[in-house]
Amino acid sequence: MPKVKVNPEILKWTRETAGLSLEEAAAKLKFKAKKENTASDRLFELETGKENPTRAMLVEMSKQYHQPLLTFYLSSPPKKGNRGQDFRTLADGLASGENALVDTLIRDIRARQSLVRTTLEEEDEAVQLPFVGSLRREDGLESAIHSIHRTLGATLEEYRSKPTASEAFKYLRSAAEKAGVFVLIAGNLGSYHTDIDTEVFRGFALADPIAPFIVINPQDSRAAWPFTLIHEFTHILLGQTGVSGISTEKKIERFCNNVAGRFLLPDEDLGQFPHLPEDDLEATKAEISRFARDRNLSYKMVAYRLFQAKQINHKLWSQVDLAFQNQWIFEETKRKEKQRKRESGPNYYVTIGYRTGKALLGLMRRMMDARAISTSKAGIVLGVKAKQVQSLLEKDASGGSRIPV
């Protein structure tokens, strides 16, 4: 089997990050002693650059060290504090393992970002994006909202004209990608067994002046994705790399939430909401539902904006918020059950293409056509096996990356 040239420091770093000694790692990797070399000696030779690993070895290391395969292709080990800033306030009782999943996912996306940036730089296509880090929180909400409108070129009229919230999100995502931001939908490590709850992370931003990335957790309701996109885009404007959750306790999260809320639902629009009796839960739910659907908005976001504007009291807002959360859980459970009963779900390449985004797909197609990136590296960037790259790009080119059911 052909051997692969990698930075041996990566091999040592990934092993140590997994908390394994040379002997423990060699046993997990099922290395065999050869002649005078012990199994751990063989691993040591790989980690000191005396030998190069095979791809099969890297695949096994990826499994045993709990690292994305693409990590082994980085030019050097990632710096500490790879998560960036942590904007979350986590609920009591969340296991450290869930945070470990987030860290692994962020490492995966960072590695993709690193390959994208390197490719752009090598092809003299690296362009400094002036909006990254152009905003300060002290500039205020209106300045932030104006910056988003100017950078994205998106209008509320166009957003609200879309037939569904999913199409409205697609419109905003396309605007962000045209501005130079790669927007991915990712919330696990490749299997539903590793789905990460929105209580742990809702989205994260990787601010970079050349290849900024936004990641949105698909475990959240689709109606909430536009809000998360604008929230994370605000972090990009602030030049902040970090992970966001549901909590609004931290000032920076309240700021980004307020920007997203007012961008999607300006204060003046709240005046169109009818006055209802303060204790009428059912009427309030029905009116919020209608109001939100007409504007392609999340029910929960509209409820919170009404509470902010003091158009509903805290007790009613809490009741409405809980009711909408339970409604979404019920509908999501039914949707998943229905999908499991189907003979076939959405096409694999359609789903992967949609979650990857047209910007990243288009870049990889163009770079492969120019022979500026190998199929294996393109597979790493796209999160698929090398043999699947061509089919994925062909499906996207044929219009296959529509919004999957």
What pLDDT, on a 0 to 100 scale, did the predictor assign at position 402? 56
Closest of 345, 404, 353 to residue 222, by C-alpha: 404
| 3-state SS, residue 123 | coil
Amino acid at 337: E
Q: Where are the domains of the chain?
A: 8-77, 82-264, 348-397
Per-residue pLDDT at 185 exceeds 80: yes
Tell me the mean pLDDT in the region 276-305.
94
CATH architecture of 8-77: Orthogonal Bundle (1.10)
Residue closest to 239 by CA, chosen among 81, 148, 132: 132
Residue 232: how many other CB atoms lie within 10 Å: 30
Q: What is the mean pLDDT of the chain?
A: 88
Q: For position 31, what pLDDT does the model report?
A: 94
Bridge partners (DSSP) of residue 206 are 213
In this prediction, residue 336 carries a pLDDT of 77
Q: What is the pLDDT of residues 19-65, one digit of tens each?
A: 789 999 999 999 998 877 899 999 999 999 999 999 899 999 988 88
62, 68 Cβ separation under 8 angstroms: yes
- pLDDT tens digit string along 96-117? 456 667 877 888 898 899 999 9
Question: For residue 229, how many C-alpha atoms fall within 13 Å in the half-sphere facing its CB?
Answer: 31
| H helix intervals, 153-182 | 156-161, 165-179
Which of 98-112, 250-264, 292-306 has the least mean pLDDT? 98-112
pLDDT of residue 20: 84
150-171 per-position pLDDT tens digit: 999 999 999 999 999 999 999 9
Q: How many CB atoms lie within 10 A of CB 351?
A: 15
Give the β-pairing of 85-86 and 203-206.
unpaired
Greatest Cα pair distance in the chain: 84
Q: What is the pLDDT of residue 81?
A: 43
Q: Which of 145, 106, 107, 131 is nearest to 210 (CA)?
A: 131
